[in-house]
Structure 1
Amino acid sequence: MGVRMAAYGPVRWVPPLLYGAVLAGGLYYAAADLGAGPGPTAWRTVGFVAAIGALFALEAAGRRRPAARVPLLLARCGLIGAVVLLDASGLSQVLFVLLPFTAYFAFGRTTALVLGALCVAGLLTTYVLTAPGWHRDLERVSDLLMLSVGLVLAISMAAVAVGEQRARRELEEYAARVAELSAAAERNRLARDIHDSLGHHLTAMSVQLEMASDFRALDPDAAQRALTEARRSVKLALGDVRQSVRALRGEAAHPALSAALAGLAHSGEARPRVTVEVSGDQDGYSAAELTVLYRAAQEGVTNARRHARATRVTVVVRLAEDAARLVVTDDGRGFAPDAAAAGFGLLGMRERVHLVAGRVDIDSGPDRGTRLTVTVPRGKMAETGEK
């Protein structure tokens, strides 16, 4: 615990405040000639002021070199002892409370309690050796009790200060972890967006440009149509980029799912042929839930185009009062769902769907096409407070 305590700093204004109060009291006693002490008054006052000045300098040195904990503690003990010896007012005994107070921050609670007990024991020993019958002297008994109370208050104050500093640092660490997790979540979201939007359009462009290249000599009209479709995909990709930028700026509008899905259906001879059917009302579904449905449909169409060699893809969405159900079916060559589980596209889609408390089911196999089913409950984002 002692090593960890070095990270905490004492309340800086407490020691200088006590030094100033003791200095003022000692100078007043010396000026009024109210007290007696060892040696000539003038020399004793000079030594008293010098020792207080050294304590002020020690505090400044401690702020510059907080790692020198043991030398600082020993120097503080020696200087406080000198001040108590030279002070005619007796007020300087209050400085003993600084020993466990500052030790609490540097070494921990155990060291502070031990020093507090030593301070009380030291004063008690001094009374026993120098003042027989001290226990019947009201002033000395009062001084001993006041020192004990002061030590308790000083240690308690140090404990509260250390607890506050520890709580603040834990809060800062927690805030840093939250910021790190938020940044990671945002990076994952951007990665999904890039894969789902740009990846989809780039795949479409690749297919269309290959068709244009293959049919350039055999069927110039078909090649031209493929180029037209490629240009259309470029425009759609640019539109998705602008939409993503608006989303990052907090300007994204509530998506119209039917219109967005209609963009997945290509005209002309671009394969596969995609048909879309949407029924129900999207009111009550959050923008995040509708976006998940669109991205899942987009991923299904993209996979059918890129991997399945499908000739037909059907996208059906049913928007019911309790949940939305998306089914994407293709007549392609299919795949083993377990073998494709590590693909980033399916992984990103599952992450999106799980964020809105939905479910993903994939039914596929070699040479029997693929059926992707996504179910998203209505309004779960609002109920759980997720964003």
Structure 2
Amino acid sequence: MAASSPPTPITGVSRPMPWVPPTVYAVVLLGGLYGGVIAPGPVRALRLAGFAGCLLLLIALDRREVRRHPVRTPPRQAVPLLIGRLALFAAAAGLDRSGVSRALFVLVPLTAFVAFGRRAGVLLSAVCVGVILLGNVLWVPGWYLRTDIVTDLLMSGLGLALAVVMASIAVGEQASRVRLADTLSELRDSHERLAEYATRVEQLSVARERNRLAREFHDGLGHHLTAIAIQLEKAAVFRDRDAPVAERAIADARWSADRALDEVRASVRALRDEDEAFSLSTALAELVRHVDGGPARVTLDVSGEERGFHLESLTALYRAAQEGLTNAHRHADARHVAVSARYGEREARLVIADDGRGFAPGADLGDRPPGTGDGFGLRAMRERVDLLGGRVEVDAAPGRGTVVTVTVPRVPVAVGAASR
């Protein structure tokens, strides 16, 4: 049985009423010595010494037990200890001439209650009362006619009952302290786990914010800087051949620089949690208008109703359009790029198709040869769309161009879960 093994001591929890047995022993010892000295007749020193030895042995036994088991004595060890105490109680009562040693038997139900539980304490109390009554019946003729005997019997029963009540209260209080100690321990563990989780969440939040900023800078500033470089190269080529075309290229480069500055301001506003009205259809039309007229012809087709789509979903599609047009200009050598946006009831879809050189299906954009790009754009696009619960599909083949399809939900997954 689990109760047979010594329980693990709990910090802050002690044995119920540890002061009661030593107090009773001390009172009985003083009372017995005093009664032996003042009693009529010769005082037998050996009898008093034996009585005092029994009480001192009981005190030493109790102190040793409390040191070894500060909370509760295991039942297997409590049984021989209880028997030993009963023997010492009987010896002290036999050597005591004053009769005060009978108070020792009040500790029997108290000890049994603490070690074995309520039933054992009540049972031993009844046994003690029965033994006292039986002793009077057998050895005291006419005991029921003697007031002192009846009074002593009643007081003994009352003392035993009070001992059981006190033990019940003390054990209940101890159980409450044990539960409180367990609760405090669980709270400490929970606090440590919460602190650990908070640290992890903070680390993940920092990593996520870094990735978001990296995507924003790449998709925003990277696109516009690429556009500026292309337009400046175009202006340099047409400077002597066709001045209007060169001026147009410089104007487009200036527009891209302004847009880059707007992207920086928008990022700062996002860090400050300042929302801004955004129209994907308008942004795509403006983007295509300034990109068109370069090496590749760019067309735009928009259908459906944009209203009701979350800002993050629309922003993801705009970033995908920027990345797709940048790749078509920088890597695909495309002559025509078609951009189409479709707003449905539950999701929006953006398709960027070019007739450039394409790439092998297994190569992906991250496996380009040196000097052709690092592939971060497509990875950032996938990360951004995956966080929203959308998907990115790339269909490409060498010499047959590239088609990038981006689909996002009307409401991002994280936002939808939070709203529920």
TM-score normalized by the length of structure 2:
0.61
Matched with 1:228 is: 251
Partner of 1:131: 89
Alignment of 1:40-51 (within 5 A): none
Q: Aligned partners of 1:166, 1:123: CA distance in 2, in Å?
A: 38
The counterpart of 2:357, out of the listed 329, 333, 336, is 333
Do 2:361 and 2:397's aligned partners in 1 also have CA atoms closer than 8 Å?
A: yes
Distance 1:125 1:197, change over 3 A: farther
Q: CA deviation at 1:156?
A: 4.4
- CA deviation after TM superposition for structure 1 residue 193, in Å: 1.3
Following the alignment from structure 1 to structure 2, what is the Cα–Cα distance between the partners of residues 193 and 359? 19
Please tell me the residue identity of whatever aligns with 1:234. Answer: A
Residue 141 of structure 1: aligned partner: 109
Paired amino acid for 1:168? H
- Matched to 1:333, the amino acid is R
Distance 1:186 1:132, change over 3 A: farther
Match of 1:300 among 307, 324, 335: 324
Code of the residue aligned with 2:344 in structure 1: it is A
Q: Evaluate the alpha carbon distance shift between residue 137 and residue 293 of structure 1 in structure 2; reply closer, same or farther with a 3 A threshold.
A: same
1:358 to 390, 398, 417: 390
Q: Which moved more, 1:291-300 or 1:342-351?
A: 342-351
Specify the alignment match of 1:172 in structure 2. 195
1:303: how far off?
A: 0.8
SS where residue 265 of structure 1 aligns?
A: helix
The within-5 A match list for 1:49-128 is: 99-100=70-71, 120=78, 124=82, 127-128=85-86
1:45 matched to which residue of 2? none
CA distance in 1, matches of 2:69, 2:253: 79
Report % sequence identity: 41
Query: CA 1:147–1:270 in 2, change beyond 3 Å: closer, same or farther?
Result: same
Distance 2:116 2:187 in 1: 24
Q: Does 1:210 align with 2:178?
A: no
Q: Is the CA contact 2:394–2:403 (under 8 Å) kept in the aligned structure 1?
A: yes
SS of the residue corresponding to residue 174 of structure 1 reads helix
* Residues in 1 aligned to 2:274 and 2:74: alpha-carbon distance in whole angstroms: 62
Question: What TM-score does the superposition give when structure 1 sets the normalisation length?
Answer: 0.65
Alignment partners' CA distance in 2, 1:135 and 1:36:
11
Residue 197 (str. 1) matches residue 220 (str. 2):
yes
Q: Deviations for 1:247-266, whole angstroms, at most 9, x for unmatched residues?
A: 22211224211111123224
Q: Is the CA contact (8 Å cut-off) linking 1:93 and 1:147 kept in structure 2?
A: no
Contact conserved, 1:310 with 1:330, CA < 8 A, in 2?
Answer: yes
Letter of the 1:350 partner, please give it.
R
Distance 1:98 1:256 in 2: 75
Q: Distance in 1 between the 2:75 and 2:408 partners?
A: 67
Structure 2: stretches of 5+ with no match in the other structure: 1-9, 31-57, 92-101, 118-170, 367-374
**Which amino acid counterpart does residue 131 of structure 1 have in structure 2?**
F
Which structure has the larger Rg over C-alpha atoms?
A: 2
Are 1:229 and 1:270, in contact at CA under 8 Å, matched by a contact in 2? Answer: no
Q: CA deviation at 1:315?
A: 1.1
Distance change in 2, residues 1:155/1:116 (3 Å): farther
After superposition, the C-alpha distances for 1:335-387 in whole angstroms (9 at most, x for unaligned) are 22431253221122122222232222222222222221222233353544489
- Structure 1 pair 94–276 and aligned structure 2 pair: CA distance change class (3 A): farther
SS at match of 1:132: helix
SS of equivalent residue, structure 2 residue 288 = coil
d(CA) in 2 for partners of 1:116, 1:194: 69
Q: Deviations over 1:283-319 (max 9, x none)?
A: 2211111112111111111111111122322211111
Where do 4+ consecutive residues of structure 1 move more than 6 Å? 92-98, 133-136
Q: CA deviation at 1:328?
A: 1.0
Deviation at 1:282, TM superposition (A): 1.2
Match of 1:137, SS state, is helix
Shift of 1:200: 0.8
Aligned length: 310
- Other structure's SS at 1:333 match: coil
Q: Give the corresponding residue for 1:377.
A: 409
